[in-house]
Amino acid sequence: MKYQQGLLLKLSGEVFSNSEICRGVVSEMTALSGKIRFAVLLGGGNHIRGNSYGQSGSTRVFADRMGMIGTLLNGLWLESMLREEGVQAVHMSAVPLTWVKRYDPVKARDAYSSGQILILTGGTGLPYFSTDTSAVLRAVELGVDKVLKGTKVKGVFSADPETDPDAEFFPLLTYSDALSLNLAIMDQTAFSLAREHNLIIQVFNVFDTGNIGRIVKGEKIGTLVSRKEEL
């Protein structure tokens, strides 16, 4: 079977702090299973954030390692919830356990291309790299069409809409726009890699149940970041 669309969904650990939202996301994944190529990369911020324990030195290294373990916990939770729905996902991690497969780009691409849901955890396996960077790197390795970044807000704004009621919402952005306006879409490493490989990034509110399915159907949800000719 040839799949016409492929996505990588980046989920922050915050999704796993809300069981209702988490189960809503699982329901959407279940509905998409077998219909599109689908990978999901998980954050671990609901357990620990590495950069909150210092920006450098051994303290940051160990904190980042703990954060990687946090993503594994979320991955196992997601894998178990999908299994409850009758979906057997392929779980690969850059920090493998005995019962979790070690991430291999060739085997991961095979699973992704076959239409299986691919769960990615462990970040890059290295400290100092965010899960945003991990998401873009894995998207490049898998040959993904679009990266969906699930957040708590509608999309990309000129400022934090939760603290600035006058923040401007951007439904469409080019890479150049985002850089010139210094918009915090992703960290600079992730954004530079996405721009280099011409990835389409769609930032949307994953806490609004049903948005993933709406995006797959082609609805204009959130903010689309791409090259000018693709907007």
- pLDDT tens across 57-110, in order? 778 888 899 999 999 999 999 999 999 999 989 999 999 889 899 999 999 999
For the purposes of burial, counting CB atoms within 10 Å of the CB of 49, is it exposed (0-12), middle (13-18) or buried (19 or more)? Answer: middle
Q: How far apart, in whole angstroms, are the C-alpha atoms of residue 120 and residue 40?
A: 6
Q: How far apart, in whole angstroms, are the C-alpha atoms of residue 47 and residue 57?
A: 21
Query: Could you tell me which of 140, 130, 128 has the C-alpha nearest to residue 39?
Result: 140
**Is a pLDDT exceeding 70 seen at residue 50?**
no
**Is a pLDDT exceeding 90 seen at residue 125?**
yes
The pLDDT value recorded for residue 85 is 94
The pLDDT value recorded for residue 56 is 64
Taking residues 143-161, what's their average pLDDT?
93
DSSP secondary structure letter of residue 63: H
What distance lies between CA 143 and its chain's CA centroid?
15
Q: Which domains does the chain have, with CATH numbers?
A: 6-230 (3.40.1160.10)
Q: Are 190 and 147 in contact (CB under 8 A)?
A: no
**Is a pLDDT exceeding 70 seen at residue 13?**
yes
Query: Cβ contacts of residue 66 below 8 Å, gap of 6+?
Result: 47, 48, 50
Q: Token pair for residue 145?
A: 């069409």
Q: Which helix (H) or strand (E) holds 93?
A: strand 90-93
Q: How far apart, in whole angstroms, are the C-alpha atoms of residue 143 and residue 138?
A: 8
